[in-house]
Amino acid sequence: MELQSIKNRFGIIGNSPALNHALNTAVQVAATDLTVLIVGESGVGKEVFSQIIHTLSARKHNNFIAVNCGAIPEGTIDSELFGHEKGSFTGAVDSRKGYFETVNGGTIFLDEIGEMPLGTQARLLRVLETGEYIRVGSSKVQKTDVRVIAATNKELLEYTGKGKFREDLYYRLNTVPIRVPALRDRKEDIFLLFRKFAVDFAERYKTVPVQLDDDARNLLINYSFPGNVRELKNLAEQISVLSKSKMLNAQMLQQFLPENTLNRMPVLASTSGFVSNGEFANEREILYKLFFDMKKDVTELKKMFLEILQNPTLANAASNYTKESLLNDFSNTSNETQTIHQQPTIVSSNATYSQQINTSNKQPVILNNDIQQPEVVEESLNIMDKEKELIIKALKKHKSRRKDASADLGISERTLYRKLKEYDIDDL
């Protein structure tokens, strides 16, 4: 089947090489029973790829079901997937079939597989390897013939290193990986998608489709779209409903784009990332400013020490000043008791403590510290690592009280909760 006909059938718009490669892989693997892992950010259309694989497979006349593993509570996901027996837990008034039983012979799409509990992962691994499962509360082994297609917006290999995902299950699911590109990686498709959405919404609301001039089109294409195709579709619908003009310029389009666009690179105080009255546009930029100030201080200290180490004149002057200061202090003290006729003894900094202090002769001891080249340790300048480190310190300081920690960080409690999920930080 030609690639363009598949795009028309499933409403896929775009011609970027990354998108075409993902579609070709899906078409090739559809005729097999191999397990597929679809990887991509939220909103890129991973479920559409699972439907393509099922529709083009020999199981197309059997059931297809999509399950969001992150939306099912941990205590009930085993029952949802594998079923349960009557009385197996509180509320189990009847026996119930699970998805692997009702979709026997078909395809099950497990979205957000990275959110699946470890216990359920072990059950799923057994199904993938032997086709066997056991209902909750039962001891009878049952068989199923279900093709599993999994999807995630996480890097599961990193999860395995953190103990949040089984490594054996990862490699079992990753038989055929399909990576769906983010919208910002297929900029040539952005305007095509926007135009398609604008026409669809114009037909729905019986209005004229909105259009963009050249400046507005460039602004749209260069926007990062963290929500990917889903965000672009919402934007097109919002403009179709709220815009008074059907021809938008860049200034008019800017009004519909988020004010605080999440930049992936740090911004300086002199850029437009900060508002004119000196206030910060968002909490992350406050952290950026703090990090840059800290880096500037460290750089100045390094520069000062390197100048002393590289300039012998400055080093000798500093050494002579130290010796003279010590001699003067010692002389002022000894004049009150007795006159010292002996010459001061100068010892090396690596001498023992008994050698440095001679109490019988009461001779002044001057430490002649040889200046050594310090070891330069390269510090991490990763913004995400620094932000995560500050959040962990705040939680430890306030004993996991999120309200106090968020106030100390200068961010809202809701933002802190989002950061905890983003960086996989457990309450300390």
Neighbours of 399 (CB within 10 A): 10
Position 403 scores a pLDDT of 84
| pLDDT for residue 144 | 96
Contact 275, 240 (CB under 8 A): no
pLDDT (tens digit, 9 = 90+) per residue, 283-310? 556 666 676 677 777 777 777 777 776 6
How confident is the model at residue 223, as a pLDDT?
94
Instruction: Judge contact between 106 and 147, C-beta under 8 A.
Output: yes
* pLDDT reading at 176 higher than 80: yes
Dump pLDDT digits (tens) for 51-86: 999 999 999 999 999 999 999 998 899 999 999 998
The more confidently predicted of residues 52 and 279 is 52
Quick check: 373 pLDDT over 80?
Answer: no
Q: For 228-269, how does the pLDDT look when each residue is reduced to its tens digit (9 = 90+)? A: 999 999 999 999 999 989 999 999 999 999 875 544 444 444
Average pLDDT, the chain: 80
Helix, strand, coil % (nearest 5) of the chain?
A: 50, 10, 40
Domains of the chain: 3-181 (3.40.50.300), 184-254 (1.10.8.60), 323-336+343-379 (no CATH), 381-428 (1.10.10.60)
* Cβ proximity of 307 and 314 under 8 Å: yes
- Mean pLDDT over residues 343-353, rounded? 42
Query: What is the average pLDDT across 180-192?
Result: 94
321, pLDDT greater than 80: no
pLDDT of residue 260: 56
75 C-beta neighbours (distance < 10 Å), count: 9
Report the pLDDT value the prediction gives residue 101, as an integer from 0 to 100.
95
Average the pLDDT over 172-179 and give the result: 94
CA atoms within 13 A on the CB side of 43: 13
Residue 378 has pLDDT above 60, yes or no: no
Mean pLDDT, range 168-173, rounded to an integer: 95
pLDDT confidence of 359, banded at 50, 70, 90? very low
**Whether the predicted pLDDT of 322 surpasses 60:** no
- Confidence label for 324 from pLDDT (cuts 50, 70 and 90): low
Cα distance from N-terminal residue to C-terminal residue, the chain:
54
Which pLDDT value is given to residue 266? 41
Q: Report the pLDDT value the prediction gives residue 6, as an integer from 0 to 100.
A: 92
- What whole-number distance in Å separates Cα of residue 88 and Cα of residue 98? 14
Q: In this structure, are residues 55 and 1 in contact, taking their beta carbons and an 8 Å threshold?
A: no
Phi, psi of 280 (to 5 degrees): -85, 145
Query: What is the average per-residue pLDDT within 138-161?
Result: 94
pTM: 0.60
- Output the pLDDT for position 400: 83
Which residue did the predictor score with more confidence, 369 or 125? Answer: 125
9-54: pLDDT as tens digits: 999 999 999 999 999 999 999 999 999 999 999 999 999 999 999 9
- Per DSSP, the residues of 201-258 read HHHHHTSPPPEE-HHHHHHHHHS--TTHHHHHHHHHHHHHHH-S-SEE-HHHHHTTS-
Q: What is residue 187's three-state secondary structure?
A: helix
Q: What is the mean pLDDT of residues 398-408?
A: 83
**Distance from C-alpha of 85 to C-alpha of 142, rounded to nearest angstrom:** 13
| CB of 229 closer than 8 Å to CB of 183 | yes
Which residues does residue 177 pair with via DSSP β-bridges, in sequence order?
37
pLDDT for 409 = 83
| pLDDT recorded at residue 368 | 45
Residue 386's pLDDT band, with cuts at 50, 70 and 90, is: confident
- The pLDDT of residue 417 is 79
3-class SS letters over 20-81: HHHHHHHHHHHCCCCCEEEECCCCCCHHHHHHHHHHCCCCCCCCEEEEEHHHCCCCCHHHHH
Strand, coil or helix: 156: helix
Cross-strand pairs, 211: 247
pLDDT in the model for residue 319: 54
Beta bridge partners of 110: 67, 150
The whole-number pLDDT of residue 269 equals 40
C-beta of residue 26 within 8 angstroms of C-beta of residue 46: no
- Determine phi and psi for 304, rounding to 5 degrees: -65, -45
